[in-house]
Chains A and B, each alone.
Chain A
């Protein structure tokens, strides 16, 4: 009897056993030749990460939290975002919009888990790997999220870094813009202390003049928006007509305590909402006047809703035309009624005044919150500005200037904290490349782990193995109680809830080694690799497709067999 590759060959009659019995296994039988389809492990892009403004690998972070590996989760965040405690609180979290879980028990509360990860980072001082600072010292002008993010990125690339900040404390709008009820001062201070703990020097309390900035050599230019847009109407310069940014900064410094009993706020963006909500907390009756309708408001939806809950009044389709001093020392503000007609350059309906249709109100103060623009005074020579922002060349330079703009002041990105963070990192990479000649690969955590750019859709998932559990969301303070102080509106998610919420995340498109494929393969063609992951034995896989069908997360593709 001969055995070749497990196959038995009887050579003589004597080779035959006395009774029928097996003399070998079946593995020699390459049943893989039966198939016309074959499975392939291929992670897809989760919809959350697809839209994340910082490029966070949301699923990787959730997976670590689910496993209780908080340090690991913090490191996942740090790959793209040094300040998850901040973004967890103030980012508009576009990631939650397309969440596939929405259709199955409720969307994942990504922001609250992110904030919990950020709080862990701060509490446990989780730090990225830091090389020796062997490269030339670099300077960063402005300590908002863009400047601080750039500083961290440069420090991580081996540069000693000095950040220059005009205000008494670092943080930019995180410290002096966004109100404490959304972003507590302690969180901002802790983030700044954490940045310092990496060896970054931050000098506060001195505003650099243009010439000083120019003299620094190649520099990160992250000065944010310096000025509010003017109203351009008579009476704008009267006392008690304030701009929103200065008002909020005053409150954040603890200097501003109130503007009287009744105040009008002009504008429809986040600044207007924060001004109005801040005024409510100072005990002021507040009405927001906006020249378009609620639908066109640029403010985040949640902010508008929360402002309404807190008793902020709204008047739409009205624009101020003049301000006068009233005989009693208050202000008389006259608004003209507006109508929407046609579209403007931004695609929004264009408001046009209805001549003669005016209304005058008497208030104690008027706050302008029409948006902010760049303060040209500090822009280095050679930089081109466009529409109130500094243009950025493909190599990161501001025109001819030795400045690398990032954040609000840089053209080409939106004006959010997350975009500022991302912009800071990219500007840092550009500056590093300029100084050392070494290009830094853009942080792309999903691409780095081989994720396909195609987005995993709900109908591709197999949700049978998930429970239709409701979200674990943080407590939100009742509106009546909210307006009594500047305490956070949204509570923190307790660690156990954050773990439960992270577990609720489907991990769309991502193999988390749940073993469903491995246990269900009818042909033992899927085995576990010692270091993690699976191998498919295509010599035996019959191409039934059960693994791809049953994969809860659409991480297995079936393709035509070759």
Chain B
């Protein structure tokens, strides 16, 4: 690979033997994150697949402290960890929250909002596998329109669109928000480095293919991330201070069906729905670009805080 990936240490902080399904997109990102942040990191995770993946009592795949929080409370929990570290003068220790989309978009949204509003000094990574996977594939507000889950079993899948985490976080004016994908490791690591170089509340929204819940082939882990970026389903961008948007990768506009056909959860989607998805992705992208342009014109010299 190149640049930022080559600079990563070959020392593994995450150990093998963890319990993720074959081809789960979550562990590569977690592994890179620990390599970037280093051993002086404390991880907090709410209930989610990852809390299981790390290992059941008395084992942990992470060779850094890994604290299990209640489903709704990881940001509050991590705020306490931060306070304890600061009070004992350990300002250099990174506090990392590693949470699923259910714990972020849904049940944890209140504590997330509170921690963001207080601008707590931590890095929050939401690995978004677009449903409650740990409990057997129930819809979350991050589940995209059209997707099958156990709780959206009707023939048209979920009817509502995915909630927009980026806009929610921008509204909190946090120092840094970025979207990242398994398919773009260099971009992931660069953004985590950016986050690491800042203080305050920083959030990475990680697009995390889940072969089990998406009814996909395990080998398509990175391919699904790539297609999500190429089709505009998951644009890669950053938002500084909630007001300065930078788009990183323009979608190649690969036909939506290329992305959908690799996933059984979209099997029931009809051609007009595919077209609607394409339109939605283009409209979303246009809004994003407009916002980036308007913000750059409004505050051309605005430096990240």
With both chains docked as a complex, state the minimum distance between the C-beta of A464 and any C-beta of chain B, in angstroms. Answer: 6
Contact A31 B6 (CB under 8 A): no
Within the complex, which residue of B28, B58, B68 is in contact with A519, where a contact is CB–CB below 8 Å? B28
Contact A520 B17 (CB under 8 A): no
Chain B residues contacting A550 (CB-CB under 8 Å) are 222-223
CB-CB under 8 A for A523 and B27, given A20-B57, A27-B17, A28-B17: yes
Contact A520 B66 (CB under 8 A): no
CB-CB under 8 A for A540 and B17, given A8-B59, A515-B6, A546-B23: yes
Contact A520 B28 (CB under 8 A): yes
Measured between alpha carbons, how far is A514 from B59 in the docked complex, in Å?
33
Q: Which residues, 45 to 60 on B, are CB-close (under 8 Å) to A?
A: 55, 57-60
* B interface footprint on A12-51 (CB within 8 Å = 1, 0 otherwise): 0000010011111111111100110000000000000000
Contact B218 A545 (CB under 8 A): yes
Contact B17 A464 (CB under 8 A): no
* B interface footprint on A511-538 (CB within 8 Å = 1, 0 otherwise): 0001110011111110110000000010
B10 at the binding interface (Cβ < 8 Å): yes
CB-CB under 8 A for A522 and B17, given A8-B58, A23-B58, A549-B223: no
Give 16 CB contacts A-B under 8 Å: A22-B60, A24-B58, A25-B59, A26-B15, A27-B15, A29-B16, A31-B18, A519-B28, A521-B28, A522-B25, A522-B27, A540-B17, A542-B218, A545-B23, A546-B218, A549-B223
Contact B59 A30 (CB under 8 A): no
CB-CB under 8 A for A548 and B219, given A464-B226, A514-B1, A519-B1: yes
Within the complex, which residue of A22, A25, A524, A537 is in contact with B31, where a contact is CB–CB below 8 Å? A524
Contact B24 A522 (CB under 8 A): yes
Within the complex, which residue of B58, B66, B222 is in contact with A546, where a contact is CB–CB below 8 Å? B222
B258 at the binding interface (Cβ < 8 Å): no
Instruction: Give the residue among A21, A464, A546, A558 with the most B Cβ atoms within 10 A.
Output: A546
Within the complex, which residue of B15, B23, B58, B185 is in contact with A522, where a contact is CB–CB below 8 Å? B23
With both chains docked as a complex, state the minimum distance between the C-beta of B154 and any C-beta of chain A, in angstroms. Answer: 31
* A interface footprint on B19-34 (CB within 8 Å = 1, 0 otherwise): 1111111111001100
Contact A26 B58 (CB under 8 A): no
Chain A residue, CB-CB nearest to B20: A522
Measured between alpha carbons, how far is A528 from B211 in the docked complex, in Å?
27
With both chains docked as a complex, state the minimum distance between the C-beta of B226 and any C-beta of chain A, in angstroms. Answer: 6
Contact B18 A26 (CB under 8 A): yes
Starting from the known contacts A522-B28, A543-B22, A550-B223, 16 additional A-B residue pairs (CB-CB under 8 Å) come to: A23-B59, A24-B59, A24-B60, A26-B55, A30-B17, A34-B22, A35-B22, A516-B1, A519-B185, A520-B28, A522-B27, A524-B14, A540-B17, A544-B211, A549-B219, A549-B222
Chain B residues contacting A514 (CB-CB under 8 Å) are 1
Contact B17 A546 (CB under 8 A): no
B221 at the binding interface (Cβ < 8 Å): yes
Measured between alpha carbons, how far is A521 from B28 in the docked complex, in Å?
7
Interface set of B (CB-CB < 8 Å, partner A): 1, 5-6, 8, 10, 12, 14-28, 31-32, 55, 57-61, 63, 66, 68, 182-183, 185, 211, 217-223, 226
CB-CB under 8 A for A544 and B23, given A22-B66, A26-B55: yes
Which 9 A-B residue pairings sit nearest by Cβ, starting from the closest? A545-B219, A26-B17, A544-B23, A29-B17, A22-B60, A544-B22, A542-B22, A540-B16, A544-B218
With both chains docked as a complex, state the minimum distance between the C-beta of A28 and any C-beta of chain B, in angstroms. Answer: 6
With both chains docked as a complex, state the minimum distance between the C-beta of A411 and any C-beta of chain B, in angstroms. Answer: 51
Measured between alpha carbons, how far is A28 from B60 in the docked complex, in Å?
11
Contact B59 A26 (CB under 8 A): yes
Chain B residues contacting A548 (CB-CB under 8 Å) are 219
With both chains docked as a complex, state the minimum distance between the C-beta of B271 and any C-beta of chain A, in angstroms. Answer: 26
With both chains docked as a complex, state the minimum distance between the C-beta of B180 and any C-beta of chain A, in angstroms. Answer: 14
Contact B185 A546 (CB under 8 A): no
Chain B residue, CB-CB nearest to A543: B22
Measured between alpha carbons, how far is A22 from B61 in the docked complex, in Å?
9
Chain A residues contacting B63 (CB-CB under 8 Å) are 25
Chain B residues contacting A20 (CB-CB under 8 Å) are 57-58, 68
CB-CB under 8 A for A519 and B32, given A25-B15, A514-B1: yes
Instruction: Give the residue among B57, B58, B66, B218 with the most A Cβ atoms within 10 A.
Output: B58
CB-CB under 8 A for A544 and B221, given A26-B17, A31-B17, A537-B16: yes
Measured between alpha carbons, how far is A519 from B8 in the docked complex, in Å?
10
Measured between alpha carbons, how far is A519 from B14 in the docked complex, in Å?
13
